[in-house]
Structure 1
Amino acid sequence: MTKAFGEDTVNVKRVGIIGVGEIGRAIVTGLCDGGDTSPEVFLSPRGARTAAELSERYEGVQVCAANQVVVDRSELVIIAVRPHDRSEALAGLRVDDDKIVVNVMTGVGNDDLRRMLATDAPLVRAIPLPAIRERASVTVTCPSHPVVDSLFDHLGGVLPVEDEAAFNVFSALTGTLTTHYWYVATLTSWAVGRGVPSDVADRYVRSLFQGVGRALSDESRSLHQLAGDHETPRGNNERIRTTWFTAANAEALGRALDDLVAHLESR
């Protein structure tokens, strides 16, 4: 059963979002859909089309004339602009020390953001994913903060970490999502190349990996156990795993993740 917003949580009544793209939209949807109560939400004029759509859909969502108005009206402010737009979007922004700021900009550390905002307000990094719109995704936060953790717990779960080194590891893991989609798309293309109609291949591959997603919800078995339970000795699954996903393949993936972490730590 979905809890109403604020039930068994540290409640926040006014949330502001600066930068209304895919993640901003998902946060608003998660906050406003399916509950008896939801906070007031104030949106920046950035992403005007999306912001206007959300304000029309939800009674408690308003589009503000400027980013400063978003900050002034909110208790908790989520900064979700693209990292390379942050200087323009946040220039001159005044953030009082009694606000709470959530930084969801990829690769932008809290020290960098604090210097830019010149504030002593609590700053928390977070990695919300689009599935929070259905309240079905765990969000990593750093450092732990009761109000922020409560907000994301309501949106599907929260995983607080205490240092940015660990946070960057989770950020790197998040960077593998489109690789998974590309893998699935490659399987579909292969089937089409073998004469299977495109729509049929697409339907089957989607169904195949939706089943994998459901299996992942069984936390009583480790990931290696899940893999083993789906294999038979000398069977099809074992053949592909051992001939394609070799030790060298796994090491290459590890190196790519190490390089991404190094990149994130250097920013």
Structure 2
Amino acid sequence: MYGFIGTGEITAAIVEGLGEAKPVFVSPRGRHVAQQLAERFEHVQVCASNQEVLDNATTVVLAVRPDIVQAVLGELHFRAEHVVISALAGVRLEQLRVWTAPAQVVRAIPLPQAARRQSLTVLYPDHAAARELFAQVGGVLTPSTEEALEVFSAATATFAAHLDYLTAIAAWMTEHGVEAGAATAYTAHIFGQLGQSLAQHTGPLAELTGKHMTPGGLNEQFLAELRADGLPEMVRRGLDKVLTRLDLNRG
């Protein structure tokens, strides 16, 4: 049986992806989302407290805000058979183990695509119960160190920037006379199709870049402009700052 402490977007995505696999117990935190899940899925039960979640489930996903996690966990009593899967960015295993003793602890980076069973979930350390859960909503990737998991976590900070880039393209089209709805639909279409190509590609990303431009062509020109303005270095600097923020939580 699965339990979820914290009921937000990630919890909703995982529960939706699981379907009717097993009974699911969700905490009252985020009651609106929890109630919606219970209404959609007969096997989902909203508990009266977080402790009730632990009393009914042995594999428990922790998905509360990092700034309140210590207070939330401080009120709970864990058993040795509990497997706590933390979906919290920047909260280290060492600290989680103190707060959840004597439970077993795993860190994970589940993605919203879990709702469609397409989340490539990063786990550390590898654990059979966690692997079983996330294999049902996509695939599993297990880095060799917790530090590597933090790098994956930093990479997820680029989602909003990518969408803002697409927003800028659609806005530019509108500024040049294209109707706003058409600009949005076209931008979403071409990058949605590009995403499918990306999902099917197994080689280096640079290979895919090369396939989408010809010497002297428009794609090559635009890429050269962005590189000349320092975009790759800007991306690296931004990611370095995110990783530094995550590293500040070490220990």
Common topology (TM > 0.5) = yes
In the other structure, the counterpart of 1:26 is 13
Unaligned runs of 5+ in 2: none
Aligned length: 249
1:220 offset after TM fit, Å?
Answer: 4.2
In the other structure, the counterpart of 1:17 is 4
In the other structure, the counterpart of 2:215 is 233
Matched, 1:45 2:28: yes
1:109-188 alignment to 2 at 5 Å? 109-117=92-100, 119-188=101-170
Equivalent residues of 2:201, 2:208 under 8 A apart: no
Equivalent residues of 1:149, 1:160 under 8 A apart: no
TM-score, scaled to structure 2: 0.96
CA distance in 1, matches of 2:10, 2:199: 23
SS in 1 for 2:185: helix
Matched, 1:207 2:194: no
Unaligned runs of 5+ in 1: 1-13
In the other structure, the counterpart of 1:242 is 224
1:107 counterpart letter in structure 2: G
1:224 to 206, 225, 228: 206
Cα RMSD between the aligned structures?
Answer: 1.3
In the other structure, the counterpart of 2:53 is 70
CA distance in 2, matches of 1:200, 1:245: 29
CA distance in 2, matches of 1:123, 1:87: 15
In the other structure, the counterpart of 2:42 is 59
Matched, 1:189 2:171: yes
| % identical equivalent positions | 38
1:221 offset after TM fit, Å?
Answer: 3.9
CA distance in 2, matches of 1:157, 1:236: 36
Moved more, 218-227 or 255-264: 218-227
Residues 95-141 of structure 1: per-residue CA shift (max 9 Å, x gap): 10111000001111111122223x12210000001000000120000
Residues 76-106 of structure 1: per-residue CA shift (max 9 Å, x gap): 0100001112133222211101110000011
1:265 counterpart letter in structure 2: D
1:225 offset after TM fit, Å?
Answer: 1.2
Moved more, 245-254 or 148-157: 245-254
1:254-265 alignment to 2 at 5 Å? 254-265=236-247
1:75 offset after TM fit, Å?
Answer: 1.3
SS in 2 for 1:200: helix
Matched, 1:95 2:106: no
2:213 counterpart letter in structure 1: E
SS in 1 for 2:42: coil
1:247 offset after TM fit, Å?
Answer: 7.5
In the other structure, the counterpart of 2:234 is 252
2:96 counterpart letter in structure 1: L
SS in 2 for 1:84: coil
Equivalent residues of 1:52, 1:63 under 8 A apart: yes
